[in-house]
Amino acid sequence: MSELLDVKGLNCPLPVLRTKKTMKGVPKGEVLTVEATDPNAARDIPALCEASGFELLSLEERDGVFVFKIRQAA
C-alpha cells in the first residue's frame, strides 16, 4: 500500500509539517509519496527524514514538482 500526500502550492514550512503529521499515520514499512512545488522542500523533507528515522527512498523533480518516496521505519 502506498499513500499520496499532495502539498503542491504550499510554501515552507507547510510541506514538511504536513509530511511529518501524515507519516505518523503511515503503518511501519509502508511508503508515503509526497508531491511538492516549494523548492525548499527538496532540502527540508530529506532533513525531516534523517531527523525522524524515516527512509527517503527517492527524490525526483518532474516539471517543477518534487516527488518524494518515504518509507516509515519498521
pLDDT at 74: 79
Question: How do strand 55-62 and strand 2-6 relate by DSSP bridges?
Answer: unpaired
What are 11's three cell numbers? 510554501
> What pLDDT does 1 receive?
58
The pLDDT, as a whole number, for residue 40 is 97
The catalytic residue positions are: 12
Q: Phi, psi (5° rounding) for residue 73?
A: -60, 140
Residue range 12-70, pLDDT digits in tens: 999 999 999 999 999 999 999 999 999 999 999 999 999 999 999 999 999 999 999 99
Kindly list the structural domains of the chain, giving each domain's residue range(s) and its CATH number in brackets, ordered by start: 2-71 (3.30.110.40)
Question: Angle CA(55)–CA(46)–CA(2) in degrees, nearest 5?
Answer: 45
